Chain A
Amino acid sequence: MAQGKQFCTFFLEGHFFGVPVQEVQEVIRYQEMTEVPLAPEIVRGLINLRGQIVMAIDLRRRLGMAERPPAQVPMNIVVRTADGALSLLVDQIGEVIEVEEDSFEQPPENLRGMAREAIHGVHKLPNRLLLVLDTERAVSVPDPIGAAEERKL
């Protein structure tokens, strides 16, 4: 039997996503946050996580999906990245599941747009597909705001 891999799963607009468990620091409920004016739109705000300031990235916006209905409160998945902890705002948290290495496949050719660079690949599960997020890419700003500011000046 092939080596299994564990994923922390979550839902975005009904799609089933996962990030490798070893990248996840913790999962927390929705926190009040401070908005950052002028920030790239994927940055929803700053959270005080036990004295640490953690930036919340809205994955719906990052993946070019529709805005979350206002009544729906997102959850935070705090992940460890090269630049410290960051929070991913998702619709709903799933279970931690173990998948087999050989069910993995590269993202299909017809996957386009902003999702393309943030999705590492797909695990074919018996009854659904698990989209594997590339955390580092997913938390990066697609179009650096710096350039936008330069143009303005």
Chain B
Amino acid sequence: MPVNDGDIVKDFLVESHENLDRLDRDLIELEKNPEDSDALAGVFRTIHTIKGTCGFLAFDKLEKVAHVGENLLTRLRDGHLKLNPEITTALLGMVDAVRQMLGSIESVGKEGERDDTALIATLTRLQQVPEGRPQLAHPTSAEPEAEAAALPTSIGEILMDRAGVSQASILRAVEKQKEGDPRHLGEILVEQKTANPSDVVDALRIQQSLRTQKGVVDSTIRVDVGLLDKVMNLVGELVLARNQVLRFGHGMKDASFQAASQQLNLITTELQEGVMKTRMQPIGNIWGQFPRTVRDVALSCGKQVVIEMVGKETELDKTIIEAIKDPLTHLVRNSVDHGIELPEDRGKAGKDPTGRLTLRAFHEGGQVHIEISDDGAGLNCEKILQKAVHKSLVSAEQAARLTEREVINLIFLPGFSTAERVTNVSGRGVGMDVVRTNIEKIGGTVDVQSKVGAGTSVHMRIPLTLAIIPALIVRGGKDRYAIPQVSLLELVRLEGEQARTRIELVHGAPVHRLRGRLLPLVYLGRELRPEKEERSRAAVDSVINIVVLQADQHQFGLVVDEIKDTEEIVVKPLGKQLKGVSAFAGATIMGDGRVALILDALGLAQRANIINEKQHRAVAQERVRAAEDPAGNRQTLLLFQVGKDGRMAIPLSLVARLEVFAQSAVENAGQRQVVQYRGQIMPLIRISAAAEMPPGAATGRTGPTTAALPPLQVVVYAGQGHSVGLVVERILDIVEEDVVIERVAERAGILGSAVVQQRVTDLLDVEGVVRAAHPSFFTKAAAG
């Protein structure tokens, strides 16, 4: 009869679950090092504890299973048996049985109707010492079973256990201490020649480690997550109150008030950090189960795999840890199941028959990076293509034109994998779309790299916390909105003439040609407030701001009234009354205390019917467009005007930044014109002069005063640590086109000409121009 004392049972369950997780790890560890008596003792202790508590709480079945397991472990510990995979499997089976029963106790309060006779029989059978098998050389059987549970912590007991010092001699030494001998027990024993100095040192070390173990247990407590959340919210409010006090403080002259508010400021910041830390957990918490997963999967498909984990201590917010658990498990299983080859195949390929799976986690750039890499066969591009073509995800014609990278990315397409494929196709793709969706849901990214024969590596980037995210603040109408940085691709600004001509209509649907591709446009104001549509349509803006967003596989441009700044925002969920409004992902409080809504790129795209057709079809189209660029021939070019009507282009890859300088910022250093730029002196080169073309209004130096001239448009070209500013008349556009140089120019500074956007455009010889103007630039850069 189960005891119905809820609290005791609950404590028992929590404790046992933790113990079972440790058991999994310890058993795997033990399988690798069967001689590791510490690990064995650990396993034994855990089972013993579970068994003891079960007996106390009258969970008979559970106790019976734990009991046979314990017996088997006793034989192992005493050296009568040696651990082999069969025993490990049986013991893991026992752990699973115990776990299931605990689960059932948790949900229905009973152990459930399991039949464990087969398991018990196996465990009992394995206890028999096989005939002719020699016993282990050094049995550590001195401790009786009952004592193993409560480990000794006095130095005398440890010496008795480990070094075989007789109880009598220890008692004698203790007597001496009582008589007033100031020395330590160990020293007395050594002097009496009843113990070796090295044994005493070992015993002291063991004692130390036992004490620290205990210390860790004593120094942690369990806290309800709900309570932590509440504390976190309160700290959030405190931060706001602090901000108000500080604002007040600026107007006050009172020194003691200033000091107090400074103090409040510091304490609040520290408190905030502290509370944030309480929610952080090491990723090792979820990695802990992977050795077991890897072992089980490897065993079931006849592979040999070792798992390596680097950066277990890397910390993440609790909610994120939970969110990435399943995707990670999936990837690990995939790696073992499909990535790593069978031992014989590995042998043939000249590899170690044992495959290696490496998990790596580290912090970088405010994000957590997680890598799962194997040294398996790598992804087979041909097979992926066959599959994709077979599934009509891409046409055979498109398939031929995809780059290797694009092919690998096909495994993320929904519909790429189905259940039947899991078994009959080697190569990954089992639910990879689910992995990607889940990771992207929490604002992360997934990337796969693979080399045939050398292995596959999945790289994830995950935000540290969901609570605080970087976001771009935009204005639509009179309201401000926050756009999470993760869905942001780029910003496009159309001014004056462009604003009128560069937005075209396809049967009424507004689009913008972005580097040769049609980008569907969504007007934020019209989308959110359809009732005001007429008014906003009537006002023809002279400036159009397009925020290019990524939603799922789609890109679209969101037209906003104004682009403000980027800010770190604290995400707050919306109430249930607003759950149906998919355009918003939450709300946040801005610096001025007003509430701003956070836009959800996916929701907006759905509202605006950007995502409405069958997804794979759209994706396939996307692929076609991508495939239409045969790699290498297409280039992204920056187009600009030089002089009065010269059109020139340079590859965008050579451009570090585009800047605008007031004419007054230009200074003269000797013969050269320079500007101060980012703490350096940047020489300026006037392209019109360098290319021997008539200067235009902005670049000419004919005006009476520099103040009257329009500001300089400068293309910053950077070589290692040094920059040169190329002064142009006007930046025209960025285009992606095939570059075919049609004639070799005879003019200085020109590589040749090409037709870009149906107009003849000169390609600037940047290096030549820079070298001509500043012969030392390249040597300086190379030296620096």
- Measured CB to CB, the residues of A under 8 A from B are 32-40, 42-43, 45-48, 50-53, 55, 57, 83-84, 86, 139-141, 144-149, 153
| Inter-chain contacts of B595 with A (CB < 8 A) | 33-34, 45-48, 53
Closest CB in chain B relative to A36 CB, distance in Å: 6
A140–B576 CA distance with the chains assembled, in angstroms: 8
Q: Which of A34, A37, A52, A153 meets B529, CB within 8 Å? A: A37
Q: Judge whether A39 and B529 touch: CB under 8 Å.
A: no
Q: Judge whether A37 and B240 touch: CB under 8 Å.
A: no
Q: Judge whether A146 and B578 touch: CB under 8 Å.
A: no
Q: Judge whether A48 and B593 touch: CB under 8 Å.
A: yes
Q: Which residue of B lies closest to A148 (CB)?
A: B580
Q: Which B residues, 559 to 600, have Cβ-Cβ distances below 8 Å to chain A?
A: 572, 574-584, 587-589, 593-597
Q: Is the CB of B479 closer than 8 A to any CB of chain A? A: yes
Known contacts A34-B596, A35-B479, A38-B583: A51-B589 contact under CB 8 Å: yes
A84–B587 CA distance with the chains assembled, in angstroms: 15
Q: Judge whether A36 and B589 touch: CB under 8 Å.
A: no
| Inter-chain contacts of A149 with B (CB < 8 A) | 580-582, 607
Q: Judge whether A51 and B587 touch: CB under 8 Å.
A: no
Q: Judge whether A145 and B594 touch: CB under 8 Å.
A: no
The 9 closest A-B pairs by CB, nearest first: A146-B580, A37-B528, A145-B580, A51-B240, A51-B237, A34-B595, A46-B595, A53-B572, A55-B575
| Inter-chain contacts of B751 with A (CB < 8 A) | none
Q: Is the CB of B2 closer than 8 A to any CB of chain A? A: no
Count B-side interface residues using an 8 Å CB cutoff. 33
| Inter-chain contacts of A37 with B (CB < 8 A) | 479, 528-529, 583
A140–B577 CA distance with the chains assembled, in angstroms: 7
Q: Judge whether B606 and A43 touch: CB under 8 Å.
A: no
- Measured CB to CB, the residues of B under 8 A from A are 233, 236-237, 239-241, 479, 528-529, 572, 574-584, 587-589, 593-597, 606-607, 609, 612
Q: Which residue of B lies closest to A45 (CB)?
A: B595
Q: Judge whether B579 and A146 touch: CB under 8 Å.
A: yes
| 5 chain-A/chain-B pairs, Cβ below 8 angstroms | A39-B577, A42-B577, A45-B595, A48-B594, A51-B236
Q: Judge whether A153 and B580 touch: CB under 8 Å.
A: no
Closest CB in chain A relative to B66 CB, distance in Å: 42
Q: Which residue of B lies closest to A32 (CB)?
A: B594
Closest CB in chain A relative to B652 CB, distance in Å: 37
| Inter-chain contacts of B593 with A (CB < 8 A) | 48
Q: Judge whether A39 and B239 touch: CB under 8 Å.
A: no
Q: Judge whether B577 and A139 touch: CB under 8 Å.
A: yes
A45–B336 CA distance with the chains assembled, in angstroms: 52
| Inter-chain contacts of B576 with A (CB < 8 A) | 83
Q: Judge whether A53 and B578 touch: CB under 8 Å.
A: no
| Inter-chain contacts of B587 with A (CB < 8 A) | 34, 46, 53
Q: Judge whether A53 and B577 touch: CB under 8 Å.
A: no
Q: Which residue of A lies closest to B589 (CB)?
A: A48
Known contacts A50-B241, A52-B237, A153-B606: A83-B479 contact under CB 8 Å: no
Closest CB in chain B relative to A55 CB, distance in Å: 5
| Inter-chain contacts of B612 with A (CB < 8 A) | 153
Q: Judge whether A86 and B241 touch: CB under 8 Å.
A: no
Q: Which of A43, A52, A146 meets B233, CB within 8 Å? A: A52
Known contacts A48-B594, A84-B575: A145-B479 contact under CB 8 Å: no
A38–B528 CA distance with the chains assembled, in angstroms: 6
Closest CB in chain A relative to B475 CB, distance in Å: 13
Q: Judge whether B528 and A83 touch: CB under 8 Å.
A: no
Known contacts A34-B595, A48-B594, A153-B606: A57-B577 contact under CB 8 Å: yes
Q: Judge whether A55 and B577 touch: CB under 8 Å.
A: yes
Q: Judge whether B578 and A51 touch: CB under 8 Å.
A: no
A151–B666 CA distance with the chains assembled, in angstroms: 60
| Inter-chain contacts of B577 with A (CB < 8 A) | 39-40, 42-43, 55, 57, 139-141
Q: Which residue of B lies closest to A141 (CB)?
A: B577
Closest CB in chain A relative to B414 CB, distance in Å: 19
- Most chain A beta carbons < 10 A, residue from B239, B580, B588, B593: B580
Q: Which of A39, A48, A50 meets B578, CB within 8 Å? A: A39
Closest CB in chain A relative to B243 CB, distance in Å: 9
Q: Judge whether B528 and A53 touch: CB under 8 Å.
A: no
Q: Judge whether B584 and A36 touch: CB under 8 Å.
A: yes
